[in-house]
Amino acid sequence: MKYEDHCKESNRILGKLHVEVHQWLDAFAGSRSYGMKHRKKRHHLKGIEEVRELFGDEAAIAARIHIISDLKEDG
């Protein structure tokens, strides 16, 4: 799912874009070292808890939604 789509989904479900969450989760996306394998870095429970520490409880919900959406997209 594209960054913009994650923001729209957060806004639709939570009433806030949570831009910082989606940027943080996908910070390694497109890098030469990771590419689509960037999800190994932060798309997991520990990543959600790091988001909670950095941005708060609602942000952790946004992170969970982001990760689930990406997993659904992957099949």
Per the rule left: phi > 0, alpha: psi between -120 and 50, beta: everything else, 16 is beta
The pTM assigned to this predicted structure is 0.89
Q: How many residues does the chain have?
A: 75
Distance CA 23, CA 58 (A): 16
Distance CA 31, CA 12 (A): 29
Task: Assess contact for 18 and 26: CB atoms under 8 A.
Answer: no
pLDDT of 13 > 80? The answer is yes
Give pLDDT tens digits for 17-61: 999 999 999 888 877 877 667 777 788 999 999 999 999 999 999
Distance CA 62, CA 56 (A): 10
